A and B are shown apart, each in its own frame.
Chain A
Amino acid sequence: MEFKDYYDILGVGRDATDKDIKRAYQKLARKFHPDVSQHADAEERFKEIGEAYNVLKDTEKRAAYDQLGENWQQGQEFRPPPEWDAGFEFRGGGAGGDSGAFSDFFESLFGHGFDRPGPGSGFRGRGEDHHAKVLIDLEDTYQGATRTISLQTPDLDEQGHVRLRSRSLNVSIPKGVKPGQQIRLAGQGTAGPGGGPSGDLYLEIAFRQHPVYRIDGADIHLRLPVAPWEAALGATVKTPTPAGVVELSIPEGSGGGTRLRLRGRGIPAKQPGDLYVELQIALPPADSDRAREIYRTMERELGFNPRSDMEART
Chain B
Amino acid sequence: MNENDSNIVAGMIIDEEISLTLDEVCRACAAETTVIVALVEEGVLEPSTPGGETDKWVFSGSNLRRARIALRLRRDLEINLAGIALMLDLLDEIESLRAGQLGQQ
Q: Name A residues whose Cβ lies closer than 8 Å to a Cβ of B.
A: 26, 29-30, 33, 35-36, 46, 50, 96-97, 126, 128-129, 131, 146, 148, 169-172, 174, 176-178, 180-186, 188, 199-204, 214, 216-217, 221, 257, 259, 269-270, 276, 278
Contact = CB atoms under 8 A, between A and B. Distances in A.
A96 B75 contact: yes
Given A26-B77, A29-B77, A172 B8 contact: yes
Contacts of B30: 97, 128-129
A35 B64 CA distance: 14
Interface of B: 1, 4, 7-15, 17, 27-28, 30, 61, 64-65, 68-69, 72-73, 75-78, 87, 91, 99, 102-103
**Main SS of chain A's interface residues?**
mixed
A52 B13 CA distance: 36
Contacts of A126: 27
Contacts, number: 96
A94 B12 CA distance: 33
Contact of A30 (B8, B13, B77): B77
A180 B65 contact: yes
Given A174-B13, A184-B14, A276-B103, A202 B28 contact: yes
B77 A185 contact: no
Contacts of A221: 102-103
B76 A50 contact: yes
A184 B15 contact: no
Nearest to B104: A257
A182 B27 CA distance: 15
Contacts of A270: 15, 17
